[in-house]
Amino acid sequence: MFLPRFELIQPQSMQEVCNLLQEDRDQAILLAGGTALVVYLRYRLRQPTRVIGLKSLPTLKEISLNGDGTLVIGAMVSLKTIETSPLIKNHWPALAEAAQMVAVPPIRQQATLGGNLCLDTRCIFYNQSETFRSSQKNCFKLGGEVCHAVKKGTRCQSVCQSDLAPVLMALGAELKIASAAGERIVPLSTFFTGKGEKPNILKPDEILVEVIVPPSPPAVSVAYEKLRVREGMDFPMAGVAVSVKKNPEGYIEQVKPILGAVGTSPIEVSFEGKLLGGQTLTDDFLQTLAQEAMSRAHPVGNLAMDATYRRKMVGVLLKRALRRALSMPS
């Protein structure tokens, strides 16, 4: 499990990063905190000739608040910083909570927001050592023609297990992406492709620079609930972020759940037709929403927990998240 040979470069400016990516678009890879990437290198799931480290770029480590209340978080801000930032805890508590639910404290100290959103999709047949993988045919994600998780599957259904992606989608976040050609801003909801083989829209010469979170609208609260094997440290087996809006009379006007870890990308569920005129939180109403959310989740047997159970838990997590969001001051 030793690391493969590669050249490590530590650029000192964004321009230098963009030039390096442009020069070497197919052979270079970005290194943020390395908590995911180093495992990929050891497993030989990535064999870059060049690794471009981002730790010498102070601008990527900044958190700032614009005059209009928009939060801007640099891609290299650590999950520990997000978890403990008083600004984020006060105004976007679900984001701080989701960061706190990732892995264990030493990993969160090193892990970054950019790395979390650019995390590759995962699968128990893929996230394995080279020796393990050599005992089976290459699957779709490795350029082959077979899926080991879904019999007669025709595409890769590896799972987006980022904890922060569903919460940031519920918060309406946007991403700033840069390359030598310039910058572009995209809604996070369009960042994920839904394709296990190529989970996000980043081009080989692009870098995620910052995450832009709009100010929380009045009367809106967001909560995140997560299912994992070991409470203290694991990737999500399912996750639900819920954004809920109440009207001045206290009726629920809008519920926007984003399902995490039950598909190749986070899944947005729409309840538009069920909320006409506002609703109160009855058991029947909760059950209707839970059923709808479950019907949108189609996990397959490619993580360390039964897919049917993960799907059922989507309904449970939705109820928990909705109740918690409604109990929060907005």
Instruction: Answer positive or negative: Cα dihedral of 77, 98, 301, 233.
Output: positive
The encoded tokens of residue 144 equal: 């082959």
Q: Which is nearer to ligand SF4, 32 or 123 (CB)?
A: 123
Minimum Å distance from CB 30 to ligand FAD?
Answer: 4
Question: Which of 174, 49, 29, 37 lies closest to 115 in space, CA to CA?
Answer: 37
Is 102 a residue that touches ligand FAD (CB under 6 A)? Answer: yes
Q: Could you give the string, one character per residue 212-241, with x where binding to ligand FAD holds by CB under 6 A and - elsewhere?
A: ---------------------xxx------
Separation of alpha carbons 302 and 41, rounded Å: 21
- By the criterion CB under 6 A, which residues form the site for ligand SF4? 123, 125-126, 139-141, 147-149, 153, 156-158, 196, 302
- Cα 150 from Cα 302, distance rounded (Å): 8
Q: Tell me the one-letter amino acid at 182.
A: G
66 burial type by CB count under 10 A (0-12 exposed, 13-18 middle, 19+ buried): exposed
Q: How far from the centroid of its chain's Cα atoms is residue 24's Cα?
A: 26
* Smallest distance from ligand SF4 to CB 195, Å: 10
| Rg, the chain, Cα only | 20
Sheet holding 252-260, edge to edge: 220-227, 238-246, 252-260, 267-268
**Paired tokens of 270:** 């729409």
112 binds, among ligand SF4, ligand FAD, none (CB under 5 to 8 A by kind): ligand FAD
In the complex, what is the shortest distance from the CB of residue 189 to ligand SF4, in angstroms, rounded to a whole number? 23
Residue 289: name the closest of 240, 217, 250, 247 by CA. Answer: 240
Binding flags for ligand FAD, 111-140, as an x/- string (CB under 6 A): xx-xxx-xxx--------------------
Of residues 69-88, which lie at the interface with ligand FAD (CB under 6 A)?
75, 79
The stretch among 14-22, 99-107, 180-188, 299-307 that binds ligand FAD (CB under 6 A) is: 99-107
Question: With respect to ligand SF4, which residue has the nearer C-beta, 120 or 206?
Answer: 120
Closer to ligand SF4 at the Cβ: 85 or 162?
A: 162
Return the one option of ligand SF4, ligand FAD, none that residue 225 interacts with (CB less than 5 to 8 A, by type). Answer: none
Q: State the binding partner of 238 from ligand SF4, ligand FAD, none, CB within 5 to 8 A by kind.
A: none
- Contact flag: residue 30 with ligand FAD (CB under 6 A): yes
Query: How far is Cα 48 from Cα 21, in angstroms, rounded to an integer?
Result: 12
Distance CA(317)–CA(129), nearest Å, equals: 32
Nearest approach, Cβ of residue 291 and ligand FAD (Å): 27
> Closer CB to ligand FAD, residue 156 or residue 202?
202
Q: Which residue has the tokens 């910058």?
A: 183
User: Where do contacts with ligand FAD occur on this chain (CB under 6 A)?
Assistant: 29-37, 39, 75, 79, 102-103, 107, 110-112, 114-116, 118-120, 161-163, 202, 207-208, 233-235
